[in-house]
Amino acid sequence: MPLRPTTRDDKLTLLFYLLTRQTGAIADCIRHIQGEKKNAECTDEEYSGWIAYMKTELGDATMIIRKMCDVLEIDYDGTVILGIRRDTEKRQEYLERHPGAHWV
């Protein structure tokens, strides 16, 4: 019988597990992208394929996060804007503490 989460907590737990699993798929893509770029026999087509696959994995993770926002009744677009703002603030703080350092 399939799992049918009914409570908010059940839904968040399931989505968290799915997001955790998704990070594993993203890590696998990163490993292949890094490995293929170093591989002299790797064609541009193979490398582009892994980049495209990474895009689908990131898209899947994005949808899981969107569903978490829905469960919590949080505005997804507002959450994205908040994330951009927080990243900007963290970047400024980091560069003030570490002048000349590189921010990823």
The answer to whether the Cα torsion of 76, 81, 87, 89 is positive or negative is negative
Q: Band the pLDDT of 99: cuts 50, 70, 90.
A: very high
Domain of residue 34: give its range. Answer: 1-73
Instruction: Share the mean pLDDT of the chain.
Output: 91
User: 44 and 66 share a domain?
Assistant: yes
Number of domains in the chain: 2
Looking at the predicted structure, is the pLDDT value of residue 100 above 60?
yes
3-state helix, strand, coil in the chain (%, to 5): 80, 0, 20
**Closest listed residue to residue 54, CA positions, set 15, 34, 25, 17:** 25
User: 84 and 66 share a domain?
Assistant: no
**pLDDT tens sequence across 14-63:** 999 999 999 999 999 999 888 877 777 778 888 889 899 999 999 999 99
User: 15 and 44 share a domain?
Assistant: yes
User: 68 and 20 share a domain?
Assistant: yes
User: 62 and 93 share a domain?
Assistant: no
